[in-house]
Amino acid sequence: MMKTLFAQELQVGDQAPNFSLQDQHGQTHNLADYRNQWIVLYFYPKDDTPGCTKQACEFRDDYKALRANNTQVIGISVDNTESHAEFAEKYSLPFPLLADIGGNIAKQYQAFINLGVIKLAKRHTFIIDPEGIIRMVYRKVDVSSHSDQILSDLNKLQS
């Protein structure tokens, strides 16, 4: 039974599931909008919580280096656009935070947890290449070093 569950998880080499979600400014983003760019698609549990803030600020601090490598950072959680707007403004986050209110996209990426009354995105990250193929999957993330790890892995993938 467990083997079946893991066999369904997205793997390196799989086509990344499409998404169409609004960001903190009400603008809709689709996976296809980022063709010809690398994407760091990261799912996180909740806006303005300690771990999520640390992770977002690490990506913010490395954003210029990521953009210099033709890479776009995109955050996704089940929080709404208003919550994302407050979070992004408070910490000067320069990248889109997408509102996956029903968790449908998080479910497609196996990054959704339903605890009854509480529904959250799991802290998972995917590096997606310019053709929409998943090149790295991170299911265990250390928020204090994750952005450095992403930069290092992107350099390897892009060389």
**E strands, the chain, in order:** 20-22, 28-30, 38-43, 71-77, 97-99, 112-115, 118-121, 125-128, 134-138
Rounded to whole angstroms, how far apart are CA atoms 34 and 149?
22
Rounded to whole angstroms, how far apart are CA atoms 126 and 120?
17
Q: Does the active-site annotation cover 52?
A: yes
pLDDT of the chain, 159 residues: tens digit per residue: 333 344 478 999 999 999 999 999 999 999 999 999 999 999 999 999 999 999 999 999 999 999 999 999 999 999 999 999 999 999 999 999 999 999 999 999 999 999 888 999 999 999 999 999 999 999 999 999 999 999 999 999 998
Topology (CATH) of 10-158: Glutaredoxin (3.40.30)
Whole-prediction pTM: 0.93
Q: Which of 10, 21, 39, 52 is catalytic?
A: 52
